[in-house]
């Protein structure tokens, strides 16, 4: 006869404290993520955006150089792609883009 015994998990005070701290950190990270505070801190900007209509010959690199001259162009290109959900490497004339 095989009997499976259920053992209760018992946490000592150190384990309980660790569990509470981890739970608080997890809940706080969800809250900050929902409010967008992580995104603002990650890019180091406030919510100011330009809208641009793509012209023939425009490239992501060129737009990033024009609208983000004081920062890394690769970062600006990445932000433009993320904000506008761009997956294709070519821009279409007449397309409206949001530029950070």
Domain membership of residue 94 (yes or no) is: yes
User: In terms of Cα–Cα distance, which of 44, 33, 32 is closest to 79?
Assistant: 44
pLDDT value of position 38: 53
Average of per-residue pLDDT values in the chain = 81
Q: Which of 84, 77, 88, 87 is nearest to 98 (CA)?
A: 84
Q: What is the mean pLDDT of residues 70-82?
A: 88
Please indicate, yes or no, whether residues 55 and 95 belong to a single structural domain of this protein: yes
Q: What range defines the domain where residue 27 resides?
A: 12-44
On whether residue 4 sits in a domain, the answer given is: no
Domain count, the chain: 2
Residue-wise pLDDT tens digits, 29-50? 777 776 665 555 555 555 678 8
* pLDDT band for position 53 (cuts 50, 70, 90): very high
Using the predicted structure, report yes or no on whether residue 56 has a pLDDT greater than 90.
yes
Query: Does the model's pTM come out above 0.85?
Result: no
Q: Does residue 3 lie within any of the structural domains?
A: no
């Amino acid at each position: 006869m095989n009997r499976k015994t259920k053992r209760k998990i018992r946490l000592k005070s150190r384990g309980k404290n660790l569990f509470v701290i981890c739970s608080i950190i997890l809940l706080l990270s969800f809250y900050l993520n929902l409010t967008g505070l992580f995104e603002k801190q990650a890019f180091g900007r406030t919510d100011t955006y330009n809208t641009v209509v793509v012209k023939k010959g425009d490239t992501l690199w060129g737009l990033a150089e024009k609208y983000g001259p004081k920062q890394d162009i690769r970062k600006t290109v990445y932000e433009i792609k993320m904000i506008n959900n761009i997956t294709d490497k070519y821009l279409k004339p007449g397309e409206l883009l949001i530029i950070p």
